[in-house]
Amino acid sequence: MRIRVLFVCHGNICRSTMAEYVMKALVNKSGLSDTFFIDSAATSREEIGNPVHYGTRHKLEEVGIYCGNHKARQMQKHEYDEYDYIIGMDSANMRNLNRMLKNDPEEKLYKFLTFAGSGRDIADPWYTGNFDETYEDIQEGCEGFLDYLEKLGITSVELLPVFAMADEARLTREGRVNYWGYNTIGFFAPENRYWSGRPGTTPVSEFRDMV
């Protein structure tokens, strides 16, 4: 099981596409590619089948990111059940997504720059022509999103169920520890060695609080 992320904008040729490929590059650089499935889509049907906007493509190439033969597509309602995070670029995207997804009953919708501590929109470069500014905002959002996930304890280990503890030297040096996992023999039996040892807790109480 991987962390599934869907970036969404109006047409899926500028902002959400840029976010998809910037995020892929970031998690790849962090050694976390196998932990994520990342895609992008549109709220509208206006650009379906069209390639990445040349401004987005040129900006990504400028920073060494290849966006392949991506074609715009519209998000489908059934995808709500398939993604953990559905991330809109601006207030209009969020309104459209809430309408499409019945007001987000599972609280999967996020406005992108909230992960960077801001409520502002990411301006659409289709109108502004400023792909540099859009890239800077998206880079900020991607870094904030990854930082948010890491603070939840998500590093090289995917979401539960976890079959092994992440204790690689690199992660230990960075202060990242995933405490809990499942015994692969007794699938539903948590292993005591994953207990944090925090005062006032036991392996059983910590596991119950977590799930």
Question: What positions carry a catalytic annotation?
Answer: 9, 15, 124
Asked, as a colleague might, if the bond just before 203 is cis with ω within 30 of 0, I would say: no
Q: Where are the beta strands (DSSP E) in the chain?
A: 3-9, 36-42, 85-88, 109-111
Strand ranges across the sheet with 109-111: 36-42, 3-9, 85-88, 109-111
Residue 108, amino acid: K
What's the CA gap between 181 and 188, in Å, rounded?
10
Burial 183-210 (b: 16+ CB within 10 A, else e): eeeeeeebbeebbeeeeeeebeebbeee
Strands 109-111 and 36-42, sheet pairing: unpaired
What's the CA gap between 178 and 158, in Å, rounded?
10
